[in-house]
């Protein structure tokens, strides 16, 4: 057997098989997906509120939403997670994954806000005028006319934000060994091998992202079927 193949098999055995370390990666994957899912759902709520705040004619709402989006989009995700984990929740006993959900929800909300705002602004203003001329209120026009059309522009970008968020959650592994990167770090401390734990972590991320990309591409294709090209 070639030495490189023997080294690879030994590295993978030490990473996954020995002492049942594959369970660490499975648990880490579960927490990664859990953090990402909750973060994008809560971030969607925050993003919609911030988007309507930015579109609001009430200056205080516009100002608050603008400051929130500007600060979050203008600072590194790692710094935000460190501040929330080591400063804001320093004296609070919370599971690391919940702190991760809070941190990434706040982060994701700012990006989703711009996605939602851009989707709404992409709709021809004549649509709003048509709704109002039919006797609909501003809220009814937004709900029944603007948002259904805007969703076709919002959903692909929102799906991409979810995929990006899954990769960004690796940051939580730098403060607590709860996710995929945390599992790789635990293996590294035992084997002193930095190659195979990280390569394995990257491979798992790649497979998950590839599967999600295919699923979301099919979903987008279904949404676009009614479009005239």
The DSSP code sequence of 57-116 is SSHHHHHHHHHHHHHHHHS-HHHHHHHIIIIITTTS---HHHHHHHHHHHHHHHHHHHHH
Distance CA 55, CA 57 (A): 7
CB of 109 closer than 8 Å to CB of 46: yes
**pTM of the predicted structure, to 2 decimals:** 0.83
Burial (CB count <10 Å: 0-12, 13-18, 19+), residue 53:
buried
- Is pLDDT at 7 greater than 80 in this prediction? no
Distance CA 119, CA 55 (A): 12
Q: Does domain 26-221 have CATH number 1.10.10.10?
A: no
Distance CA 212, CA 199 (A): 20
Neighbours of 112 (CB within 10 A): 27
How high is the pLDDT of residue 92? 81
Residue 37, H or E segment:
helix 22-55
- Is pLDDT at 228 greater than 70 in this prediction? no
Diameter over CA atoms, the chain? 79
Neighbours of 205 (CB within 10 A): 18
Burial 19-36 (b: 16+ CB within 10 A, else e): eebeebbeebbebbbbbb
Residues 167-223: pLDDT tens digits? Answer: 888 888 777 778 888 888 888 888 888 888 899 999 999 999 999 888 888 877 776
Residues 93-107: pLDDT tens digits? Answer: 888 888 889 999 999
Is the CA virtual torsion 82, 88, 93, 97 positive or negative?
A: negative
- Is pLDDT at 4 greater than 70 in this prediction? no
């Amino acid at each position: 057997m070639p030495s490189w193949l023997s080294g690879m098999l030994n590295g993978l055995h030490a990473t996954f098989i020995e002492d049942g370390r594959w369970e660490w990666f499975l648990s880490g994957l579960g927490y990664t997906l859990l953090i990402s899912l909750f973060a994008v759902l809560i971030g969607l709520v925050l993003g919609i509120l911030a988007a309507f705040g930015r579109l609001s004619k009430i200056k205080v709402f516009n100002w608050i939403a603008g400051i929130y989006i500007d600060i979050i989009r203008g600072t590194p995700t790692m710094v935000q997670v460190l501040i929330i984990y080591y400063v804001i929740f320093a004296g609070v006993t919370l599971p690391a994954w919940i702190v991760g959900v809070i941190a990434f929800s706040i982060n994701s909300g700012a990006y989703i806000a711009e996605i939602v705002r851009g989707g709404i602004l992409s709709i021809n203003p004549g649509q709003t005028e048509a709704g109002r001329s039919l006797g609909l209120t501003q809220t009814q026009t937004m709900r029944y006319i603007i948002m259904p059309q805007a969703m076709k522009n919002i959903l692909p970008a929102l799906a991409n934000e979810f995929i990006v968020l899954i990769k960004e959650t690796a940051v939580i592994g730098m403060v607590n060994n709860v996710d995929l990167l945390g599992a790789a770090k635990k293996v590294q401390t035992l084997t002193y091998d930095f190659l195979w734990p990280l390569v394995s972590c990257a491979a798992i991320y790649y497979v998950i992202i590839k599967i999600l990309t295919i699923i979301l591409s099919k979903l987008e294709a279904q949404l676009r079927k009614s479009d005239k090209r």
